Chains A and B, each alone.
Chain A
Amino acid sequence: MNLNLKVWRQKNNKSQGHFETFKVKDISSEMSFLEMFDVLNEQLVSEGKEPIAFDHDCREGICGMCSMHINGRAHGPWNETTTCQLHMREYKDGDTIVVEPWRAEAFPVIKDLVVDRTSFDRIIAAGGYVSVNTGNAVDANALPIEKQRADESFAAASCIGCGACVAACPNASAMLFVSAKVSHLALLPQGEPERKVRAVNMVRQMDTEGFGSCTNIGACEAECPKGISLENIARLNREYIGAVFSGSAQG
């Protein structure tokens, strides 16, 4: 199939960006979306032009690096799918596809479709862990954990930190990301001792980074490639309020 692409080009974070239009030919329906971009980039290189910069690494939907906003949707049209797992059988000959980077103040553009997501690292550094040094652990089976609780924790922990939730949110809020981490650890006995300071400190860091507030729109859940549930945000709110009112969370 032949396709028209409108892609965001931006030299660096100091320059203004703009859309550029490209045509790609003979795209097979078996290609992944990023393989279609590989074809385009090979074409640009052969014309002596600079290829489009985009983030990608594992190409199997788990590293969280790929991050394209496709026809107005984070990671494109398929539910619970990262950009790298989207395949071209979704499109038909003659389609026009618009591709933009994640848009958020806390994710400044580095180049073209590549954005800086180090704000997520700093949120984790603010409290997204259990403070246990190597060598401190007791036997792994010393503490049984109810299966359902462990499964819920795992579901929250399956967040890949891609930032689609932020890109999808009209407020560019990072609540789904933060709540997934808070839930993952709050649901486990190992996370219990620090749950209050964790919630307070991670939320504070999220605000410092310039992410917006949550107004319960739900776009984050709809676009999350790992199906992280909004229930996590409800849990984060409970954790946060509980921590603040108990007065014990001086992080």
Chain B
Amino acid sequence: MALNSKIPAGPLDQKWEKYKSTCKLVNPANKRQIEIIVVGTGLAGASAAASLGEMGYKVKAFCFQDSPRRAHSIAAQGGINAAKNYQNDGDSTYRLFYDTIKGGDYRAREGNVHRLAEVSANIIDQCVAQGVPFAREYGGLLSNRSFGGTQVQRTFYAAGQTGQQLLIGAYQGLERQVALGTVTQYSRHEMLEVVTIDGKARGIIARNLVTGELERHFGHAVLLCTGGYGNVFYLSTNAMGSNVTAAWKAHKKGAFFGNPCFTQIHPTCIPVSGDHQSKLTLMSESLRNDGRIWVPKKQGDNRKPTEIPEEERDYYLERRYPAFGNLVPRDVASRAAKERCDAGYGVGSSKMAVYLDFASAIERYGKVEANKQGKHDASKAEIIKMGKEVVKEKYGNLFDMYAKITGENPYEVPMRIYPAVHYTMGGLWVDYELMTTVPNLYALGEANFSDHGANRLGASALMQGLADGYFVIPYTLGNSMADEIRTKAIPTDHPAFVAAEKEVADRINRLMSIKGTESVESFHKRLGKIMWDKCGMGRNAEGLRQAITEIQQLRKEFWSNVRIPGEITGYNPELDKAGRVADFLELGELMCIDALDRNESCGGHFREESQTEDGEALRDDEKYMYVAAWEYKGESQFELHKEELKYEVVHPSARSYK
């Protein structure tokens, strides 16, 4: 099967305009007859469900949490990018497009990324109109800050709770549609199968997590907005429930999986404190606007950070990357931290951490504040006090979070941070219309692979989720639904629904009948360790081959020895988790296969065999300038399809932040 990305012809900056003015439309009366299933209610899902409901489609929105507002988009901290150029610092649609392509290390599609940059400004307008309380300046206008991989200030934010505010905006829009009757909400429901009829997605099998009952739901189209799969590593910044199940079921029903090995390791997270650790907590990239990252110049230096004088500190990002300094992209910052720790310069009791220090920012802000207040003879203590107030206003909730977790006061001592799994650029392969290789099955937001290439820039996940949901799918869905206006709702006693439900029920019965001795949690931890050690920040052929064998072995063990207490009926979180871990055990293998196939380094994918003399990622454009789209062919069998990436506007070069 040849992949067709359906990128419209014509100049890059006119593709989307042209698409919008030529795509097919569905008239209002027909929209009311068309049923759409939206799985997942994060930024992509909630914005899509609300917008499609407003347009008149009959929408069903599913989430496994107790409310759509809990989706993990809520935890995004730092901000959302938009090419507004409110700061008059030279930003433009083209620059946002260019930064994103470059940040992704030339492994994303130009057409998709340009569209993302084009609609970015509309997102901010839409959110402000909904009452999203973005940060503002004293003049009453919106405030911006910088994120990694850019030299402009284009990030809009609401303290360190930007994801929360954006999601609540979309959620409120969704609830408004629920009240109006255009959207029906199914909380504590998990999608466990895609139903296909005549090759098209026509519904889902969902499990009511409270009663344990399986339900059949018809839809003319199914939208998967189910987020990323970082939890395959067990420890990540993802929420505990985040999983790959919906995307993986779709994959096994024929949807190709794009670039599964592209994982983002975020440089600034609170380090692991022990074996009990259940998840890792991010400290927003926005902190790198003001925090300076350093380690001692001496190996194994055990002095307290405050006792180490300025000249004995190595601000290694500023030293290695003077042009971008502490604001290099995430993949670069993460590898640099690992390099210092591996070389013996790490800090803290585990020695697997570096410092993120706010002392100089506190002093700088304090001086500005003193000047503002006309206190030109303020003492150093007064300046520090005022500076702390400013830092508190900018990052207060993050500092509080750090203090609660570590018991240390980051206003006084530098934070200790280390990289952790945060986001997955890979996901279901989609074309320009966000449709997967299964007709009428779409993937939006982090669940698809499309816009971030091999590394996502900070504050771009929120942008992509809302772009897909508010501004892309409302057009592209119509283009195929226009051909469905004569398709009547298919009754759910259709044999395809019956068969799909039986498949799901059989699998659940099989899981429950194993009655082994090892917990689901234990298997998940073991899988996570294999993935982190061999398919994490550094990867090599030998390790990946070992990982594949180990995962296959672990999967066998799981299916013969997992212990799931409780019953199939009623609320049973252990059973829910078992199903998700079973899917991670299949996905993990595909990630390693993909990482093994891609014998180059690009973005977050670092093959140790492919690096420059000074340890930077070394791409191989001759051989690997493609999207790896994997087709499921049976257990441990995947066929690679390549979508060649053509750069018409940007000329790929070695990415340099020096």
Interface of A toward B, CB cutoff 8 Å: 11-12, 28, 30-32, 34-35, 38-39, 41-42, 44-46, 48-51, 53, 55-65, 78, 80-81, 85-87, 89, 110-111, 114, 116-118, 120-121, 124-126, 128-141, 143-147, 150-151, 153-154, 157-158, 160-161, 184-185, 188, 190-191
Contact = CB atoms under 8 A, between A and B. Distances in A.
Contacts of A138: 125, 129
B274 A145 contact: no
Contact of A137 (B126, B187, B276): B126
B85 to A, nearest CB: 11
Contact of A118 (B66, B141, B161, B176): B66
Interface in B265-309: 273-274, 276-279, 281-282
Nearest to B160: A62
Contact of A38 (B122, B130, B137, B278): B278
Given A64-B70, A78-B404, A121-B185, A154 B140 contact: no
Given A45-B519, A126-B179, A190 B570 contact: no
B330 interface: no
Interface in B152-181: 158-159, 161, 163-165, 168, 171-173, 175-176, 178-179
Contact of B210 (A62, A87, A110, A133): A110
Contacts of B72: 57-58, 63
Contacts of A65: 65-66, 70
Q: Which of A30, A81, A140, A153 has the most CB of B within 10 A?
A: A140
Given A46-B519, A131-B176, A53 B133 contact: no
A120 B175 CA distance: 11
B239 A57 contact: yes
Nearest to A152: B133
Interface string B100-133: 0000000000000000000000101111111101
Chain B interface category by residue count: 35 or more
A138 B126 CA distance: 8
B75 A53 contact: no
Nearest to A128: B172
> Which 8 pairs, one residue from A and one from B, show the smallest C-beta to C-beta distance?
A144-B140, A129-B172, A137-B129, A137-B125, A154-B133, A125-B175, A125-B179, A140-B128
B140 A145 contact: yes
A117 B128 contact: no
A11 B65 contact: no
Contacts of B27: none
Interface of B: 47, 50-51, 54, 65-70, 72, 74-75, 84, 86, 122, 124-131, 133-142, 158-159, 161, 163-165, 168, 171-173, 175-176, 178-179, 185, 187, 210, 239-241, 273-274, 276-279, 281-282, 400-401, 404-405, 407, 470-471, 474, 519, 521-522, 563, 565-566, 570-571, 573-574
A63 B278 contact: no
Given A114-B571, A121-B175, A158-B159, 11 more contacts: A30-B274, A41-B521, A42-B519, A57-B70, A61-B404, A81-B404, A87-B407, A134-B51, A150-B133, A153-B133, A185-B131
Given A57-B241, A62-B75, A145-B136, A110 B70 contact: no
Contacts of B164: 62, 158, 160
Contact of B131 (A32, A35, A124, A184): A184
A130 to B, nearest CB: 5
Contacts of B519: 42, 45-46
Contacts of A157: 131, 133, 158, 165, 168
Contacts of A44: 565
Contacts of A191: 131
Contacts of B282: 60
Nearest to B171: A124
B521 A134 contact: no
Contact of A87 (B50, B69, B404): B404
30 contacts: A12-B571, A38-B521, A48-B563, A49-B565, A51-B565, A57-B65, A57-B70, A58-B72, A58-B75, A60-B75, A61-B404, A62-B74, A62-B164, A63-B239, A65-B70, A114-B571, A121-B175, A124-B175, A125-B179, A130-B131, A130-B172, A131-B176, A134-B50, A137-B126, A138-B129, A151-B136, A161-B69, A188-B131, A190-B128, A191-B131
Given A53-B573, A126-B179, A140 B68 contact: no
Contacts of B125: 137-140
A129 to B, nearest CB: 4
A51 B173 contact: no
A85 to B, nearest CB: 5
Given A30-B274, A60-B75, A65-B66, A147 B404 contact: no
A78 B519 CA distance: 32
Given A12-B570, A56-B240, A157-B133, A129 B565 contact: no
Nearest to A44: B565
Contacts of B175: 121, 124-125, 128-129
B276 A39 contact: yes
A161 B421 CA distance: 27
A56 to B, nearest CB: 6
Contacts of A146: 140
A144 B168 CA distance: 22
A125 B178 contact: yes
Nearest to B143: A147
A182 to B, nearest CB: 12
A46 B565 CA distance: 9
Q: Which of A64, A89, A114, A129 has the most CB of B within 10 A?
A: A129
Given A133-B54, A134-B51, A144 B161 contact: no
Contacts of A131: 176
Contacts of A111: 570-571
Nearest to B70: A63
A63 B241 CA distance: 12
A44 B519 CA distance: 10
Contacts of B75: 58, 60, 62-63
Contacts of A64: 69-70, 74
A164 to B, nearest CB: 15
A85 B178 contact: no
Nearest to A129: B172
Nearest to A145: B140
A59 B176 CA distance: 28
A188 B158 CA distance: 15
A140 B74 contact: no
Contact of A57 (B159, B171, B240): B240
Contacts of B278: 32, 34-35, 38, 59
Nearest to B68: A121
A151 to B, nearest CB: 8
Q: Which of B124, B133, B470 has the most CB of A within 10 A?
A: B133
Contacts of A117: 66-67
A158 B161 contact: yes
A58 B173 CA distance: 23
Contacts of A12: 570-571
Q: Which of B128, B401, B470 has the most CB of A within 10 A?
A: B128
Contacts of A145: 136, 140
Contacts of B187: 118, 121
B131 A190 contact: yes
Contacts of A143: 128
Contacts of A60: 75, 279, 281-282, 401
